[in-house]
Structure formats: C-alpha cells, structure tokens
Chains A and B, each alone.
Chain A
Amino acid sequence: MRSKNPLRFIYATPYAAWLLLFVLAPIAVIVYYSFFDLSGHLTLANYRNFFTSIYFKLTISSFWYAFLITFFALLISYPTAYFLTKTRHKQLWLLLIIIPSWINLLLKTYAFIGLMGVYGPINALLEAVGIGSQQILFTDFSFVFVSVYIFIPFMILPIFNSLDKINPTLLDASKDLGANAWVTFKRVIWPMTTDGVKSGIQVVFIPALSLFMITRLIAGNKVITLGTAIEQQFLVTQNWGMGSTIAVFLIIFMFLIMVLTSGKKGGIIK
C-alpha cells in the first residue's frame, strides 16, 4: 500500500543529507578528536584522565543533580498537565504554559538572580514572616529550583499530549466497572501516558546532565556538571581532545538513557 510513494527518492535527499552531516558526522568528529592531545598527537591519555577520581566525582554529582531536577519537574508537571486537560479552553491554557518558554532563557535566569538575591522579594518575604533572610543564591537549592523552572514546560507538553489522546469513554468504562479514582489513574490513565512521561524524562534528564549556563549564573560555579566541564575544555582551556573525551562519555550516557526510556518506542509505528 505504502509502496506507491508520492515522494520520489530524490525528495528525501535534504533529509538524508542532514542525517549524514549533522547527526553522524558530529559524533564521528567527537570520537576522532578524543584520541588527540593538545599538541595533536594520537593518544589515550584523555581516557586515562577521565578515569581519575576528579572526573568520577564530577560524573556522579552531575547525575545526582540531573535526577533531582527530573524528579521535581515530573512531580510538578504531571498534575499540571492532568488538570490542564480538564479545563475548558485547554489549548489556550497550554499556550499560556508554553509562553514563558518563549521568553529568553537567559532573561528568566537573570530574573532569578534578582528574585533570590539578598535584597530580593523572596528574602523580603522570609524576613516578613519571621524566618529571616537566607542565602538562597549560589546554593544547590537555587540551582535545582531554577533548572526545574526552566524545564517544566518541556515536561508538561508531552504528558499533556498523551493525556489528551486518552479516549474519555475509557474513563467512563473504568468507572462503570467499579474502579475508584485512584484505581482508574493507576490502571488506566498512567499506563496510557507512560510514553509521554518517558519522552518528558528524556527531554529533561539529558539536558540537565549538561547544563552550564545556570551553573555559572545561579550556582556561582559551585555546581560543576559534565556540561560545564566540556564548555571549560572547549572554550576556556581550548583542549578540544579532553573536551571531546568527556563528550564521548556524555554521548554514551545519553544512549543508555535513551534505551532505558524508550523501551517501547516501536509502539509509535504500527
């Protein structure tokens, strides 16, 4: 049936070229560069370096922060997406959720520098309720909070879409068969939205592993992630070899996470 393709082979060329030039070639050059040292000699020193305790600690803490960020983003986004599908003008509300992500990331981050600052409104509020002003900026809390804030719209979107696709008669059927709200959620709604949740986790966890702008502006260089390390090697020390080596490991982690979160991806294609 699909054999009579209205697109002739030649139309596929731009897409195929993109796959080759911007998906396969970049991975190849990263792997290639990871075997060279600063003076251009073929070496395995970069890999030896990566297995020292510094980079090991870095990797662990990077994963821990990414986990926290993803966890809180999911915790907040799922109910939000669920309630959104129940509103009258749900597409408009969804748009309103997306609008903040159109406002430049850097502007929002900058706003938090002001909001969380010593003289900012959050501290003024804490002062007013008697807790007293705290050092909020440049802590783990501020880093995780701002990151979660940035990622929420990207987590809500796929979950909203998968919730929106659920046929409401299924919920009625579940109710008619005697399931209470919790059982309906656990046995009907949640299983049907796991694909949305998985893609939400994908779009949050992996970028969270490699944040570097927020670590610099909000965490004040206290939090170092794999992303920060790569940026440092590429743009500050100009050691592309070491930077590429860290990138190779980040790519490996990325593939592992992709495999873990897309177990049933074949389900998309009938």
Chain B
Amino acid sequence: MKKLGILPRIYLAAVFVILYAPIFYLIYYSFNSGDGMSHFESFTLDHYQAVFQDTRLLIIVLNTVIIALLSALLSTTIGVIGALTIYFMKNKSARQAVLSLNNILIVSPDVIIGASFLILFTLVGVKLGFASVLISHIAFSIPIVVIMVLPKLLEMSTTLIDAARDLGASRKDILTRVILPYIKPGIFAGFFLALTYSLDDFAVTFFVTGNGFSTLSVEIYSMARTGITLTINALSGLIFLITIILVLGYYIIGNKAKSPQGVKK
C-alpha cells in the first residue's frame, strides 16, 4: 500500500480537527468552575456530579438510550426481512417499485416524516409519548437497514444457495447457515446506522413527542433557547467517552473475530 503524501495528511488532519473541535470545546468547558463557555476559571468536577444528581436529566438520557436500542433492534429485524423479500422477488419491475418505495423515507425530510406521523398518530389515536416516538424511530430506521443489507445479498453468488440446496440443506438451513452469515456485516452496519439515526434524531421526535416524554435532543433544544447550564457540557463529555469505548470495543472485537479464521477479503 502506498503511503499518503504530506498534503493529503494535512487535509485529513484538518477535517478531523474541525469534526472534533466542537465536541472537545464542549468537554473542555465542562471542567470550568465559571458559569459560561467564554473563559475558563478553574478546574472542577462539579458539573459531572450535577449530572448524576439530576434525576430528570438521567431519565431523559435513559429514555433516549432505550428508544435507540429498541428501535435499532426491531428495525434491523424488519429491515433484514425486507431486504430478503426484495432480493427474492421474481418480478423485476415490482422489485424496483418496492425498492423505490423503500427509499422514500430515507430521502424524506425529517419535518415531513414528523408532520405526517403526527397526523397519523392523531387519527389512529396513539397517545403521543414513548410509544409514538418508538414507532416513529423504528419506521424511519427500517429502510436504512434494507439499504445496508441489500448490497451484501446482491454480491452473494447465487451458486452458494444452489450448492447448499444440492447438499441437502433445508430452507431454514439456507437462511441461517448460508445467507445470514454472509450478510452479517451488512446487518451490523444497518444496526449501527439505525442506532446513530435514532440517537441523532431531533426533528421527528420533536413532532411526535407529547408533554410528558422527552429525549435528549428535544430537551437540549428547549434548553438552548433559554440558556444552557454546564451540566449539559458534562453530559456530552460522558456521552463522548462512552461512545469512544463502545466504538473501540466493537473495532477490537471485530478484528479479533476476523484474524484467527483468516476470513477471505
């Protein structure tokens, strides 16, 4: 592999600096004993203590995480089924049509998803709150999973399935021992993307959440319009730390699982 030249390195470094600057800026001031983000007085951990004492905030964090995990899990399940359904459709134009329908929610602006779901929930009589937010997050994550899984299915050689069948594999075996292992990277990618979308979502949640239920995004939005406390900075520091640990853990596990078997690339 060729090494990168000096200019590309500088370019990449600049992109990384800009991507991370706002995050480190927030974290830096989370240790500030002063009350704003403009000048640093002295080091303190008070704000971190405040996070763990603020029950309301902790409940909101918990809500956000539960919604993200549940919606990612359920949308991955339905999305994988969806990808398989599309893959096995015989009629080419029907398949194309379903695929286009699938992509509608991905390209739909958040406000449209939010507004139309709000009308829908009101019409059907779903109470706005946990249920409506969860259902919405599942709904907008499904197409993303399909999009991540489908290319893996298409790149799989159909002879694999034929070979399995010739060797006497049942339908279930073909699915669980041939197809699913093959598309596993796509499934994981879909799951993590669904998680990302859910954690990051503000607009849809903002539309479909009721009075009693709030996620982190909605909460920060309302605080940002009135003036934030440094507690939020401390919280973002914690979120960042947990994210890094999860990602590194995932990366290390992923690498370990690969190397002994010498997976073909």
Contacts and interface: CB of A to CB of B under 8 A. Distances in A.
A235 to B, nearest CB: 7
B84 interface: yes
A159 interface: no
A104 B154 contact: no
Contact of B82 (A4, A5, A15, A93): A15
Interface residues of B, number: 94
Contact of B112 (A102, A217, A250): A250
A266 interface: yes
Nearest to B109: A210
Interface in B77-113: 77-79, 81-82, 84-85, 87-88, 90, 92, 95-96, 98-113
Contact of A107 (B95, B174, B196, B236): B236
B22 A108 contact: yes
B224 A102 contact: no
A71 interface: no
A230 B112 contact: yes
B22 A115 contact: yes
Given A7-B81, A76-B15, A83-B8, A117 B1 contact: no
A232 to B, nearest CB: 10
Nearest to A202: B107
B107 to A, nearest CB: 5
Contacts of B139: 18, 21-22
Nearest to A213: B202
Interface string B229-252: 000100010011001100100010
A108 B110 contact: no
A6 B174 contact: yes
A34 B213 CA distance: 29
A14 B239 CA distance: 33
B202 A30 contact: no
Nearest to B38: A119
Contacts of B102: 19, 23
10 contacts: A7-B81, A14-B78, A26-B117, A99-B244, A100-B19, A104-B217, A105-B200, A114-B38, A210-B110, A254-B107
Interface of A: 1-7, 11-12, 14-16, 18-19, 21-27, 29-30, 33, 76, 79-80, 83-84, 86-88, 91-93, 95-115, 117, 119-121, 149, 152-153, 202-203, 206-207, 209-210, 212-213, 216-217, 226-227, 230-231, 234-235, 240, 243-244, 247, 250-251, 254, 257-258, 262, 265-266, 268-270
